[in-house]
């Protein structure tokens, strides 16, 4: 069925799954370096050649490089070689502003998980970067990316996943408006990954702020129980420690149910998983800081701020324990 796009489509898509976080640290004593072969990726670290563990920052559906610029200096000051990896730059054609990075995918379709292996090799010769200690720090779609990668690469040592999912989801983009249910968000080794479809995603985009994104995910999942096992992220294949953070009132998707499934799967396998669940909080849980105005998060600004303030010291301690910066 042909659906006429409006500018609300771009606005709603840009707001969905936002990766929120703390205010950037001042960077006067933090160096910022480009990465050969990755035009928009950066490494933030303290000055000097001391080998520092890698922490790759994986953004959510906001895309571009905001997450890296926000958290790179913060993680660098903690002793990491913090890597911002832009992998998607929203491009809605005439229905939104030009993409920040036109050479990156403009739709969230078949995002290459295996680019992380290429990134690791590009980082290997850089002074002050220890790729033998390799962590991932992701939220929302970035958490989905991180869990998929960790289930495939044994050299990933530690993962922090905010507002995660336990399945791979359908992709989206301008070309998908009349082709719903046909493309995956992620690919590996040139092949799209099996995925869980949505129900009513395009209608939700057209509805703008009134869209119930959590229902779009939940209804799609209810429609396709036969696709559950194929779409499931095999988190039991990640042998390293995992920390997951979720809010019970997440308005984007049901991260709490996802965390329950992830923990249960990994417990059976005897794997370390730290789960921080905040029943009154929403999607906006990354970093620390006081109340923020993120209306599509779910929860209240106060509940989200309290969850962040409780979780952040535990996240910091987990990273230090599992990567030894």
pLDDT band at 17 (very low <50, low <70, confident <90, very high): very low
Q: What is the pLDDT of residue 79?
A: 97
Give CA–CA dist 84/65, Å, rounded.
7
**Residue 4 confidence (pLDDT) above 70:** no
pLDDT band at 295 (very low <50, low <70, confident <90, very high): confident
Q: Going by C-beta distance under 8 Å and a sequence separation of 6 or more, which residues neighbour residue 46?
A: 29, 30, 31, 52, 76, 77, 79
Structure tokens at 302: 């106060």
**Residue 121 confidence (pLDDT) above 90:** yes
For the chain, how are helix, strand and coil distributed in percent, rounded to 5?
35, 20, 45
User: Could you tell me the residue ranges of all domains in the chain?
Assistant: 7-323
- Domain 7-323: CATH class, spelled out: alpha beta
Q: Pairing relation of β-strands 273-278 and 242-247?
A: parallel
Residues 127-139 have a mean pLDDT of 98
Q: What integer best gives the mean pLDDT of the chain?
A: 91
Q: What is the pLDDT of residue 72?
A: 98
Report the percentage of the chain scoring pLDDT > 70. Answer: 91
Q: What is the pLDDT of residue 196?
A: 98
| Pair 81, 53: CB distance under 8 Å | yes
Give CA–CA dist 253/151, Å, rounded.
21
Closest to 253 in 3D by CA, of 168, 312, 183, 172: 168
**Residue 214 confidence (pLDDT) above 70:** yes
Q: What is the pLDDT of residue 97?
A: 92
Q: What is the pLDDT of residue 42?
A: 98
Residues 277-285 have a mean pLDDT of 97
Element (H, E) at 210: none
Report the percentage of the chain scoring pLDDT > 90. Answer: 81
CA dihedral 19, 69, 145, 78 (to 10 degrees): -100
Q: Is 181 left (phi over 0), alpha (psi -120 to 50) or beta?
A: left
pLDDT band at 123 (very low <50, low <70, confident <90, very high): very high
Please report the sign of the dihedral spanned by the C-alpha atoms of residue 52, residue 71, residue 231, residue 193. Answer: negative
What are the Cα distances from residue 115, in Å, to 38, 41, 45, 170, 238?
10, 12, 22, 20, 18
pLDDT band at 61 (very low <50, low <70, confident <90, very high): very high
Place of tokens 């095999």: 234
| Pair 84, 67: CB distance under 8 Å | yes
**Residue 287 confidence (pLDDT) above 70:** yes
Q: What is the pLDDT of residue 21?
A: 37
More confident residue, 295 or 127: 127
Q: What is the pLDDT of residue 122?
A: 98
Give CA–CA dist 42/312, Å, rounded.
23
- Other CB atoms within 10 Å distance of the CB of residue 23: 11
| Pair 58, 85: CB distance under 8 Å | yes
Q: What is the pLDDT of residue 147?
A: 99
Q: Going by C-beta distance under 8 Å and a sequence separation of 6 or more, which residues neighbour residue 215?
A: 200
Structure tokens at 192: 């799209």
More confident residue, 203 or 73: 73
Residues 79-95 have a mean pLDDT of 95
Q: What is the pLDDT of residue 15?
A: 37
Give CA–CA dist 289/95, Å, rounded.
34
**Residue 12 confidence (pLDDT) above 60:** no
Q: What is the pLDDT of residue 289?
A: 87
pLDDT band at 27 (very low <50, low <70, confident <90, very high): very low
Q: What is the pLDDT of residue 199?
A: 95
Residues 82-88 have a mean pLDDT of 98
Structure tokens at 188: 């590996």
**Residue 19 confidence (pLDDT) above 80:** no
More confident residue, 21 or 68: 68
**128-158 burial, b for 16+ CB within 10 Å, e for fewer?**
bbbbebbbbbbbbbbbbbbbbbbbbbeebbb
**Residue 18 confidence (pLDDT) above 90:** no
CA dihedral 222, 223, 225, 228 (to 10 degrees): -80
Residues 77-89 have a mean pLDDT of 98
Residues 203-226 have a mean pLDDT of 92
**Residue 291 confidence (pLDDT) above 90:** yes
Residues 32-41 have a mean pLDDT of 97
């Amino acid at each position: 069925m042909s659906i006429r796009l409006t500018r609300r489509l771009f606005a709603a898509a840009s707001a969905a799954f936002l990766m929120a976080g703390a205010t950037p640290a001042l960077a006067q004593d933090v160096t910022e370096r480009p990465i050969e072969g990755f035009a928009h990726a950066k490494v933030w670290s303290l000055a000097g050649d001391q080998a520092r563990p890698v922490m790759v920052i994986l953004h959510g559906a906001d895309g571009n490089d905001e997450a890296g610029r926000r958290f790179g200096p913060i993680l660098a000051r903690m002793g990491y070689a913090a890597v911002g990896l832009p992998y998607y730059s929203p491009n809605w054609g005439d229905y939104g502003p030009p993409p920040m990075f036109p050479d990156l995918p403009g739709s969230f379709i078949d995002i290459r998980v295996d680019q992380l292996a290429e990134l690791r090799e590009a980082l290997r010769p850089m002074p002050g970067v220890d790729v033998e200690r390799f962590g991932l720090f992701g939220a929302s779609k970035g958490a989905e990316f991180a869990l998929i990668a960790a289930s495939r690469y044994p050299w990933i040592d530690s993962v922090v996943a905010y507002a995660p999912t336990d399945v791979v989801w359908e992709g989206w983009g301008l070309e998908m408006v009349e082709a719903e249910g046909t493309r995956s968000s992620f690919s590996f080794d040139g092949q799209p990954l099996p995925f869980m479809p949505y129900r009513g995603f395009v209608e939700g985009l057209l509805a703008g702020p009134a869209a119930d994104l959590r229902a779009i995910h939940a209804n799609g999942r209810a429609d396709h129980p036969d696709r559950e096992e194929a779409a499931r992220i095999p988190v039991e294949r990640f042998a390293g420690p995992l920390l997951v953070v979720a809010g019970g009132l997440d308005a984007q998707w049901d991260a709490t149910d996802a965390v329950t499934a992830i923990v249960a799967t990994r417990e059976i396998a005897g794997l370390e998983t730290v789960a921080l669940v905040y029943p009154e909080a929403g999607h906006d849980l990354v970093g620390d800081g006081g109340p923020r105005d993120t209306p599509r998060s779910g929860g209240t600004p106060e509940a989200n701020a309290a969850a962040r303030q409780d979780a952040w010291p535990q996240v910091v301690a987990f990273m230090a324990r599992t990567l030894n910066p």
